[in-house]
Structure 1
Amino acid sequence: MTHRASLVLAVLVLACQNPQNAGPPAAKSGPEVKTTEPPAKTDPHAANPHAGNPHAMGPHAGDAPGTETSRPAREAVNPHPVTPSGKTREEAVPGLNYKVPEEWTKKPGSSAMRLAEFTLPGPGGDAELAVYRFAGGGGDAKSNVHRWRTQFTKADGTPLGDSDGEVQEVSKPPLKVTLVDLTGTYVAQVTPGAAERYKDPNFRMLAAIVEGAGDPYFFKAVGPETTLAVWKPTFTTFADALTVVP
């Protein structure tokens, strides 16, 4: 036997004694592959049609039919009889001087647009008056009167019409003053664009729009009808004490 044949025979003998070395490892039943299943795709709008959409309700949601909610009617705050003394005091906002009854309590304006605020006492409970001025104007008198009418309904729930309430224009050059008197159930939005509304029966608004001194001023009092009835004469003569500050 040749030397080469002897080597081949020796390898075969060893392979028989150690079958695990006879060839490459037997293949396993399948490769072990670690995979990460991608999460199932879901429709982000399936459970909540407005999920993640900050504009779903819209900026005027409170005006959309079927989306409004109403607060319970507010309770009267500090109701007591008041007899106006007829005394007034000077008040001022930038660009305009005016007078208010001594009985009105002044508070700091609660925002940049509110130049001043007052509490008006009376038998129906406190009413609130705010003095506004909006950069750029805030709309003409006719548009604001129309908007204020939409903030009231009649006893049967129908909105005020264009002929409801009192609107009077007073000329005091260079000023034009529009006086407004509205009564009904107060249903204004709690905040602009909100779905929640007030629902205060027997409420009243006394307001004055002052034009002719740059951006118009808005004097707007809202509260129980019986309280603002006490202060109606003040608004009737409101324009008399207005003076423009150069």
Structure 2
Amino acid sequence: MSVLNRCVLNHCVVSLALPAFLFVAVACQTNVQAQDAATAKPVTVDVFGAGSLEVPESFKKTTPRSRIIEHEFAVKDGEGDDAPSARITMMAAGGDVKTNLDRWKNQFSGSNKKVAETEVKKEGDWETHVIEVSGTFTETMGGGPFSGGRKVQRENYKMMGAILVHPDSRKFFVKMYGPIALIESNRDHFKEMITSIDE
């Protein structure tokens, strides 16, 4: 066989083998990703060492925007940087339950403002207070509502807020806020997460 023919034959073998190799590599990677997804453990958030919250898989952990926030997550409606997203924050805090719930409600305004009745439940040793409020949300940029940062009006927003009260009176705050439709589609997930404090 001439040198030219050998080169042509080798090129054909490589050309045929390369797609097969790529197929196997992609298949292996897909299989590993599927196994990782199947074995992934739900994220749990410890609350005072006395309970924990099981975070829905759709809530993705992010870096807290403020130092006072202990845990922060985000949930998006679709892919891409411009997809609508909601923010979920968690932190220990003090103060009267009603005063804090009223403060959250007062972050909303507008003629379309709606405030649902506060839902109070007993979850084992815990007492949970959950509110839902929608309208035009006043968001303070660069920190919490007391940071003095620039305020931005977010129209057609909704918040689900929860205060979890331990028997020794310690309180843990959980909030989810974002576009109304996105909050509505994750409403059950949020409530199930709050209920999980006693599981």
Per the TM superposition, whether the score is higher than 0.5 is yes
Q: 1:226 deviation in Å? A: 0.9
**2:135 counterpart residue number:** 184
TM-score under structure 2 normalisation?
A: 0.66
Aligned amino acid, residue 45 of structure 2: A
Q: Work out which of the residue numbers 60, 70, 89 in structure 1 matches 2:42.
A: 89
Q: Displacement of 1:94 after TM fit?
A: 4.5
The separation in 1 between residues aligned to 2:140 and 2:58, in whole angstroms, is 29
Q: Write the distance in 2 (CA, Å) between the matches of 1:88 and 1:183.
A: 33
Shift of 1:144: 1.0
TM-score by length of 1: 0.54
Whose strand proportion is higher, 1 or 2? 2
2:173 — aligned with what? 218
- Does the alignment pair 1:131 with 2:119? no
Name the CA shift for 1:212/1:129 in 2 (closer, same or farther; >3 Å). same
Report the 3-state secondary structure (helix = DSSP H, G, I; strand = E; otherwise coil) of the residue aligned with 2:58.
Answer: coil
SS in 1 for 2:54: strand
| C-alpha contact 2:139 2:152 (8 A) present in aligned 1 | yes
**Cα distance change, pair 207–231 in 1 and its aligned pair in 2 (3 A):** same
Match of 2:7 in 1: none
TM-align CA RMSD: 2.6
Which whole-Å deviations, capped at 9, do the CAs of 1:156-208 have from their partners, x for residues lacking one? 6xxx58xx334100111310001111100002443425273221100010111
Rounded to whole Å, the distance in 2 between the matches of 1:205 and 1:217 is: 16
Q: CA deviation at 1:112?
A: 4.2
Q: Contact 1:122 / 1:230 at 8 angstroms: preserved in 2? A: no
Identity, % of aligned positions: 19
Return the offset for 1:213: 5.3
Which structure 1 segments of 5+ residues have no match?
Answer: 1-86
For residues 179 and 156 of structure 2, what CA distance do their matches in structure 1 show? 6
Secondary structure of 1:207's counterpart equals strand
1:117 to 52, 67, 72: 72
1:93–1:115 CA contact under 8 A, matched in 2: no
Q: Is contact 1:122-1:226 (8 Å) kept?
A: no
Q: Cα gap change, 1:112/1:183 in structure 2, threshold over 3 Å: closer, same or farther?
A: same
Counterparts in 2 of 1:94 and 1:148: CA distance versus 1, 3 Å: closer
AA matched with 2:120? E
Instruction: For 1:90 and 1:193, locate their aligned partners in 2 and report how far apart those are by CA, in whole Å.
Output: 29
In the TM superposition, what whole-angstrom CA distance separates every residue of 1:125-149 from its partner, at most 9, and x where no partner exists? Answer: 0101010113xx2x12211111111
Q: Within the alignment, does 1:196 sit opposite 2:150 as a pair? A: yes
* Alignment partner of 1:103 is 2:58: yes
Distance 2:41 2:56 in 1: 4
Q: Residue 181 of structure 2: SS of its match in structure 1?
A: helix
User: How far apart in 2 are the matches of 1:189 and 1:107?
Assistant: 19
Q: Which residue of 1 aligns with 2:106?
A: 150
What is the identity, as a one-letter code, of the residue corresponding to 2:90?
V
Deviation at 1:223, TM superposition (A): 0.7
| Code of the aligned partner of 1:92 | V
